[in-house]
């Protein structure tokens, strides 16, 4: 299921660390918004827990971008209406007129034509998508490193629409660990071990070992069917399609001798841990680190992850119906976003906001559920960290 493009996707990903708060005035133009600089990304009171999910109280925020070659020559309104389709054109007209959208710090007319490299700022009432309610559990803590069990659905660091609803944001709110340096990433729907350095020197130590090929990692996955008993090594190129957000696997045999193999070389070792016929629990050791490598290599073996929304569709005709039945069966009960009833105690409505009075942004109405892929171990020269198995790993 593809999500609608949101206003702060794409080029506007580059954001400031400044939060904007409304004054007591009812006039909601940019001149009546105060900037508050803070070293903290999040605080405990920033979150609302509702319907089995962690929400973020909407807040004011400033996005900063610079005019690129494609934008040059467009009017300021056309630029936003063409590039960021998550909001209607009328919103951008009002935002320019009120000074919420400025060029080089100045209010400009709606007909203003932007020039190359100009600075554009956009003040908006930011609504973040919800994530699952599971805690970010600290597994091991030292002065220069901390390891956590990342819940599924939570991004590692601020990106796209997510800022406070991230591992880094939640840790800042709940544990106040100071500046953090994530060493590696896990896909948003993947859970498990995440290593985070607390100093730049420790971050460099880990990165040097990763870049030097000295780090081994292991995941577990719950897959469809009876996985072969003997170790299986998949050596098939991964070709990632950014527009579709998914990868494909291809080797020289399947592509034919006269065709060039697409994508980047990738290798994963798989070992069956247990099986009971319908599903198997598999140990996964990626030798390389391509996008969705384990997921697409498991699909390549004919045993995809049993609840993978991207790579299971060749095996189940109606994936959405399948997932809906599992959710209704009670594996994870979450109410519909439409069940949320606005309360002034939760947040203040912005009259210009296209999301208020709803809590979550438009285009994020679907349910997330934990992908049955979990990182359990990272090891290098002189160190090793582990994470417990999740509940779904029990067969």
Catalytic residues: 187
Alpha-carbon distances, residue 79 vs 75, 125, 139, 315, 332 (angstroms): 6, 20, 46, 42, 41
CA atoms within 13 A on the CB side of 3: 16
SS3 146: strand
SS3 17: strand
Distance CA 295, CA 292 (A): 5
* Polymer length in residues for the chain: 395
Distance CA 146, CA 138 (A): 7
Count of helix runs (H) and strand runs (E) in the chain: 7, 20
Burial of 32 (0-12, 13-18, 19+ CB in 10 A): middle
Task: Provide φ and ψ at 190, rounded to 5°.
Answer: -95, 140
> Residue 313 has what DSSP assignment?
T
Distance CA 182, CA 148 (A): 11
CB 236 within 8 A of CB 250: yes
Residues 6+ apart with CB under 8 A from 295: 247, 304, 305, 308, 310, 311, 373
Burial of 322 (0-12, 13-18, 19+ CB in 10 A): middle
CB atoms within 10 A of CB 136: 20
SS3 98: helix
Distance CA 32, CA 25 (A): 7
Helices (H), the chain: 76-83, 89-98, 167-174, 200-211, 252-255, 293-301, 319-328
């Amino acid at each position: 299921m593809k999500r609608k493009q949101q206003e702060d996707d794409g080029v506007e990903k580059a954001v400031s660390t400044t939060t904007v708060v409304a004054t007591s005035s009812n006039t909601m133009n940019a001149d009546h918004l105060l900037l508050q600089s803070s070293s903290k990304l999040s605080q405990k009171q920033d979150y609302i827990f509702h319907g089995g999910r962690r929400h973020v109280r909407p807040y004011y925020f400033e996005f900063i971008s610079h005019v690129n070659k494609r934008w040059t020559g467009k009017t300021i309104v056309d630029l936003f209406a063409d590039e960021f389709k998550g909001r209607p054109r009328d919103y951008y007209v009002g935002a320019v007129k009120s000074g919420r959208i400025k060029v080089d710090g100045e209010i400009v007319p709606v007909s203003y034509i932007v020039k190359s490299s100009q600075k554009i700022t956009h003040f908006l009432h930011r609504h973040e998508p919800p994530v699952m309610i599971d805690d970010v559990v600290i597994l091991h803590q030292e002065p220069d490193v901390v390891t956590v069990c990342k819940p599924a659905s939570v991004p590692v660091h601020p990106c796209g629409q997510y800022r406070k609803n991230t591992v880094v944001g939640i840790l800042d709110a709940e544990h106040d660990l100071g500046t953090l340096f994530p060493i590696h990433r896990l896909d948003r729907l993947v859970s498990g071990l995440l290593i985070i350095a607390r100093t730049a020197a420790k971050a460099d130590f880990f990165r040097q070992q990763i870049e030097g090929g000295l780090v081994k990692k292991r995941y577990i996955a719950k897959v469809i069917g009876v996985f072969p008993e003997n170790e299986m090594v998949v050596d098939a190129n991964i070709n990632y399609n950014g527009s579709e957000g998914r990868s494909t696997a291809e080797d020289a045999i399947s592509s034919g001798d006269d065709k060039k193999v697409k994508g980047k070389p990738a290798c994963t070792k798989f070992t069956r841990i247990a099986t009971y016929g319908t599903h198997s629990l598999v140990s996964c050791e990626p030798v390389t680190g391509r996008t969705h490598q384990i997921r697409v290599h498991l699909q390549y073996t004919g045993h995809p992850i049993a609840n993978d929304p991207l790579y299971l569709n060749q095996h189940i005709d109606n994936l959405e119906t399948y997932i809906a039945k599992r959710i209704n069966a009670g594996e994870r009960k979450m109410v519909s976003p439409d069940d949320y009833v606005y309360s002034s105690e939760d947040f203040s409505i912005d009259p210009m906001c296209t999301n208020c009075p709803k809590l979550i942004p438009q285009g994020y109405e679907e349910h997330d559920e934990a992908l049955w892929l979990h990182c359990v171990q990272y090891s290098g020269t002189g160190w090793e960290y582990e994470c417990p198995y999740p509940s779904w790993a029990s067969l």
